[in-house]
A = this chain, B = another copy of it.
């Protein structure tokens, strides 16, 4: 049942090496020979053994995605779309996609050790926020090709990212333009580069519109909707005046929206809300949540691209690839439709 390349070669009347070359599409084999070999191979349902191919070629033909359990649970639609993009490109290049789900950075470092020592992967894609950079250090130390999602905490790490300064700028600019100043910026932990970048853009927009950034309250929140709920509630309790909330994720935007409502303020009439990521459910909150589409699928595709460029040998250390973003304006920053209109 399980045919080997030897069987194929024998039946085609060629040597194993010729069969191997033919199957791998090497140009040295004569087209007609190649044709005949392929014919026999497919008729027997032959495919080279992954393990054997890996062992003899010294490549695992597999890439590994390190996916932090916590943050993926929060921006889950993002994570899924990203993986989808990774998978699509990887498969096109005959690479397998493996997954490592980690609770914290220590687990990531351990997992990387295992991966590297067992030579079980040809490259790693980090979905970590990678606060400390120790994961990247480990990757370098092991000499494993890698790409990360987001701006790296240390220099010269190949990475794929949105222009998060611009993301923060565009979102803030929109809120300012529709007259929703002051804006509360609900950010994630300050250690994340994505937070730093978006915050920079947030301030930049204020400057460009001639507004004092000091008037823009910034909350360094946790990562969850609940964190945002509590932080915005606190701000409301302190009677801080604001006309809108810009949250760093859709989950946090939803938490913020609940906080605003709990204090008897209306969304969007009293306070406009804008999230980021454009998760699947944003279109179906009530009112629909405005957000920023970050094109997770494209980020995934780009990540493998950058990784394969290294694995295949075209290594450019400081490559940084930027994927487009766009504002998606819905009800939470505009006028409500349907039921809510009647309520006011």
A342 close to chain B: CB less than 8 A = yes
Given contacts A54-B54, A339-B262, whether A101 and B118 have CB atoms under 8 Å apart is no
A212 close to chain B: CB less than 8 A = no
User: Are A263's CB and B339's CB within 8 A?
Assistant: yes
Chain B CB within 10 Å, residue with most, of A77, A114, A264: A77
CB-CB under 8 A from A52, the residues of chain B are 55
CB-CB under 8 A from A62, the residues of chain B are 98
Chain A residues 33 to 76 lying within 8 A of chain B, measured CB to CB, are 45-52, 54-55, 60, 62, 69, 72-74, 76
CB-CB under 8 A from A309, the residues of chain B are none
A140 close to chain B: CB less than 8 A = no
Cα distance, A36 to B343, chains bound together (Å):
77
Cα distance, A281 to B257, chains bound together (Å):
12
Chain B CB within 10 Å, residue with most, of A73, A119, A226, A339: A339
Of A14-22, A80-88, A154-162, A185-193, the one contacting chain B is A80-88
Dominant SS among interface residues on chain A:
helix
User: Are A284's CB and B87's CB within 8 A?
Assistant: no
Given contacts A285-B254, A339-B263, whether A97 and B99 have CB atoms under 8 Å apart is yes
User: Are B50's CB and A120's CB within 8 A?
Assistant: yes
A321 close to chain B: CB less than 8 A = no
User: Are B76's CB and A46's CB within 8 A?
Assistant: no
Contact of A55 among B49, B225, B343 (CB under 8 A): B49
Say how far A104's CB is from chain B's closest CB, in angstroms.
14
CB-CB under 8 A from A101, the residues of chain B are 83-84, 87-88
A338 close to chain B: CB less than 8 A = yes
Q: Can you list 29 contacts pairing A with B, beta carbon distance less than 8 Å?
A: A48-B118, A50-B60, A50-B118, A50-B119, A50-B120, A51-B60, A51-B119, A51-B120, A62-B98, A69-B80, A76-B77, A76-B79, A80-B80, A83-B99, A96-B120, A98-B99, A225-B280, A225-B284, A226-B283, A229-B284, A254-B281, A254-B284, A261-B286, A261-B339, A264-B342, A281-B281, A285-B285, A285-B286, A286-B286
